[in-house]
Amino acid sequence: GESVGLHLPTLSVQEGDNSIINCAYSNSASDYFIWYKQESGKGPQFIIDIRSNMDKRQGQRVTVLLNKTVKHLSLQIAATQPGDSAVYFCAERGLGQNFVFGPGTRLSVLP
Amino acid sequence: DAGVIQSPRHEVTEMGQEVTLRCKPISGHNSLFWYRQTMMRGLELLIYFNNNVPIDDSGMPEDRFSAKMPNASFSTLKIQPSEPRDSAVYFCASSSSLAGVARSYNEQFFGPGTRLTVL
C-alpha cells in the first residue's frame, strides 16, 4: 500500500500470539502520544492514546506503555488476528497540535 | 458521519501543471491538517489550520505549495508548478480542538488520501 517505507521494519507473528511494536520518540517535552494503524490504501486510524502523566493504558486487546526515562513507547496487541496486519505508527505531540510521526512498523500476521 | 472527504482519490498529471487537492473535514471539527506520505520520508505534516487560520506551515516544502481554508468545511492544497518529486499520497485530517485555550488531547481523523503522480 501507499504507507510502505523502503526500509520499513517488519514484525511477523503467528495468529493468536501477542505482538509488541516499539517506538522511540525524540522530544522529551512531548506530552501526548497516539498509536495509529494504517491498512493498505487507507489513511491512518487511531488505536489508542496516552498522556505523559501515565505509563500504561489499556484498550480492547491493545495496551500502550510509555517509558519517559528512555523516551520509549510500545504497543502490545493481544491474540493477534489477521485483521491486525497493517503498518503501525506512533505519533508524539509537542507544542500546539503538531504531531510528529515515527517511520512505522509493518505487522504481518502468519496463519 | 461520512468522515473526512478528499478529492480526487487519484491524480495523474504532467510536470509543470497545477494540481489542486480538496478536503472536507468532519462537521464540527475546527482543526485541519495536511500530510504527505512517501516511501522515503514517511508521514510528514505540511500545514495545519485552527478555525480556518493557518497556524504552522513550516512543513510546506517550498513556494510551489500553498494551502487555503476559506471556510470551516473546505480546504485546498495547491501545487504549482508540480514536479515528479511531488508524487506522494496526500492526507487531510481533522480534529476538534480548543484553539487559543488549553490544549486538548484529541485524535485526528484521517481521510482516505489522494494519490498524486507527477510524470
Write out residues 65-84 of B within 8 Å (CB-CB) of A: none
- CB contact (8 A) between residue A4 and residue B45: no
Beta-carbon-side half-sphere exposure of residue A105 (alpha carbons within 13 Å): 20
Residue corresponding to grid cell 508524487:
B87
Please name which of A87, A85, A106, A86 lies closest in space to residue A15, comparing C-alpha atoms: A85
Q: Which of B43, B48, B109 sits opposite A98 (nearest CB)?
A: B48
Quick one: A90 exposed, middle or buried, by C-beta within 10 A (0-12, 13-18, 19+)? buried
* The pLDDT value given to residue B108: 84
Residues of chain A with pLDDT under 50: 1-6
Cis amide prior to B8 (ω within 30 degrees): yes
Does B37 contact A at CB distance below 8 Å?
Answer: yes
Interacting residues of B2 by C-beta distance below 8 A, sequence separation 6+: none
Q: What is the mean pLDDT of residues B82-94?
A: 96
For residue range B89-109, what is the model confidence (pLDDT) as tens digits? 999 999 886 544 333 456 788
The CA-atom distances, in angstroms, between B115 and each of B24, B45, B60, B67, B108 are: 17, 16, 18, 17, 20
Does A32 contact B at CB distance below 8 Å?
Answer: yes
* The pLDDT value given to residue B116: 98
* The pLDDT value given to residue A98: 73
Q: Please tell me which residue of chain A has the smallest CA distance to B4.
A: A43
Q: What is the mean pLDDT of residues B26-42?
A: 90
- Is residue B69 scored above 90 in pLDDT? yes
For residue range B41-67, what is the model confidence (pLDDT) as tens digits? 889 999 999 899 998 888 898 899 999
- Is residue B114 scored above 80 in pLDDT? yes
Residues from chain A that touch B23, judged by Cβ atoms under 8 A, are none
Does B89 contact A at CB distance below 8 Å?
Answer: yes
The span from the CA of A58 to the CA of A47, in Å, is: 11
Name residue B50's beta-bridge partners: B31, B53
Name residue B37's beta-bridge partners: B43, B89
* The pLDDT value given to residue A96: 65
Interacting residues of A51 by C-beta distance below 8 A, sequence separation 6+: A31, A32, A33, B105
Interacting residues of A60 by C-beta distance below 8 A, sequence separation 6+: none
Q: What is the mean pLDDT of chain B?
A: 89
**10 Å Cβ neighbour count for A46?**
16
Residues from chain A that touch B97, judged by Cβ atoms under 8 A, are 97
The CA-atom distances, in angstroms, between B60 and each of B34, B46, B49, B86 are: 9, 5, 13, 12
Does A30 contact B at CB distance below 8 Å?
Answer: no
* The pLDDT value given to residue A5: 41
Distance from CA of A84 to the nearest CA of B (A): 18
The three grid cell numbers given for residue B33, joined into one nine-digit string: 491538517
- CB contact (8 A) between residue A97 and residue B50: yes
* The pLDDT value given to residue B100: 41
